[in-house]
Amino acid sequence: MRINRVSLYHIHLPMLCSSFTCSLEPGVSSADVVIAKVETDEGLVGYGEAGAVGGYPNYAKGILASSAELIKRHLINKNPCDINSIQQSMSLIDGHGSIKSAFDIACWDIFGKLLGQPISTLLGGKLTDSVPIYRGLPLKKPADMAKEADAWRTEGYRYLLMKIGCGNLNEDIECIEAVMQNRQPGEHYTIDASGRWRVDEALTVLKAVQHLDFVLEQPCWTYEECLSVRVRTQRAIKLDNVITDIGKVLRAQADRSCELMTLKIDKLGGITQARIAKDIASAAAIGVTIEAQWGTEILGAAVTQLALTTPPNRLLAAPDIHTYSSISTTSNNPIKVENGQMSMNNESAGLGIVVNDDALGEASLVIEA
């Protein structure tokens, strides 16, 4: 079996919440994704996806062009089930996981369809039937953030991640206090500065809210700055933006720079590398969230299936990323979201999705053997 055609689609996903603001980007009204449709000479077809948004290292147009070049030069004509060979070719380009992710996921989708098994089975089997989901709260004024937290609480969400880093430390502190004032038993909070603070600013905020129980995510932009915060506080730290490859996972484990990690499938380069990162973190007793930058049900299914294979005592939560936008790319409702939990609605082969090609529109780029 050989890959004979790859179609790449650049899709805009309008946000259901009108705009999503974090310290990196003041008001994102739509997210961008790149979707790959990988076709073979034996008729099997696989789909994959990578997310992009303003403020992150890889923008959609860059992902699109670079992915096409990588596929054209090194991946077209390969057997999609030769995952190791494909990874070896991808390793010729250091980093830049987002340009590899969609293709890698599509190959796993084909592999599963060939064997008639869901990806979770190919990864060794599910360790749970459903995973907790968290909801991201965009950066707003303190009272507005508190109201939004209350609203999602009524929907069954018990894991909340709030964006802070507005440029005013006093307002950041007010936001944290406002959101957590109605905290209910069993709820878990993550405070995500998205790298906005200096080390001294992070320490100032932590001192002001030391009476509150939460995890601090990515307080500063660089790994070294985050490590500097970690050694000065007893607060649990989660690393996110700086976890871009397996080397960073290994370094964080060796330095004991965090208690938790965010593992973004698309940022790490797809399921193959994200699985290795998940296994290393699990072995090191580091808690993880399995997620992606943005995505439709295609990437959402990859997130869900990988999360289902994560030891429950190592998995914090995963996001239901496909619910942040009104755009749907599938016709079979593959992901079930109910009462703060997420699972696959079926045990179908591969990703478990039936993609609606009409929803993808016309391909932005096509690479043929």
Report the alpha-carbon distance of residue 161 to residue 190 in Å, rounded: 5
Torsion of CA 229, 232, 234, 239, to 10 degrees: 20
Which CATH architecture describes the domain 121-344?
A: Alpha-Beta Barrel (3.20)
CA-wise closest residue to 192 among 276, 289, 97? 289
Q: Which of 9, 3, 6 is nearest to 64 (CA)?
A: 9
| pLDDT computed for residue 330 by the predictor | 97
Helix ranges, the chain (H): 60-70, 83-90, 98-115, 119-122, 142-154, 169-180, 199-208, 223-230, 246-255, 265-268, 271-283, 297-308, 357-360
32, amino acid identity? D
User: What is the C-alpha to C-alpha distance for residues 109 and 91, in angstroms, rounded to an integer?
Assistant: 21
pLDDT of residue 55: 43
| Three-class DSSP category at 366 | strand
| C-alpha distances in Å from residue 29, one per residue of 21, 54, 118, 229 | 9, 10, 34, 32
Domain boundaries, the chain: 3-116+356-368, 121-344
What is the b/e burial string over 85-95, where b = at least 16 CB atoms within 10 angstroms of the residue's CB? ebbebbeebee
289: CB partners within 8 A, 6+ apart: 134, 238, 260, 261, 262, 263, 315, 316, 317, 318, 319
71, 103 contact by CB (below 8 A)? yes
Identical fold for domains 3-116+356-368 and 121-344, yes or no, is no
pLDDT at 56: 45
- C-alpha gyration radius of the chain: 20
How far is it, in rounded angstroms, from Cα 127 to Cα 12?
Answer: 34
- What amino acid positions are annotated as catalytic residues? 163, 264
Q: What is the pLDDT of residue 94?
A: 85
> In which element (H, E) is residue 49 found?
strand 45-52
The closest alpha carbon to 4, from 90, 80, 85, belongs to 80
Look-up: residue for tokens 């005013």?
A: 168
Pick the CATH number of 3-116+356-368 from 2.40.50.140, 3.20.20.70, 3.20.190.10, 3.30.390.10: 3.30.390.10
Backbone phi, psi, residue 274, to 5°: -65, -35
Q: Which portions of the chain are predicted below pLDDT 50? A: 55-57
Cβ atoms 131, 339 nearer than 8 A:
no
What confidence score (pLDDT) does residue 24 get? Answer: 59
- Model pLDDT, residue 235: 95
H helices, E strands: number in the chain = 13, 16
pLDDT at 189: 97
Amino acid identity for residue 83 in this structure? I
Structure tokens at 17: 């919440």
Phi-psi region of 352 (alpha: psi -120 to 50; beta: other; left: phi over 0): left
- The DSSP output letter for 19 is -
pTM: 0.95
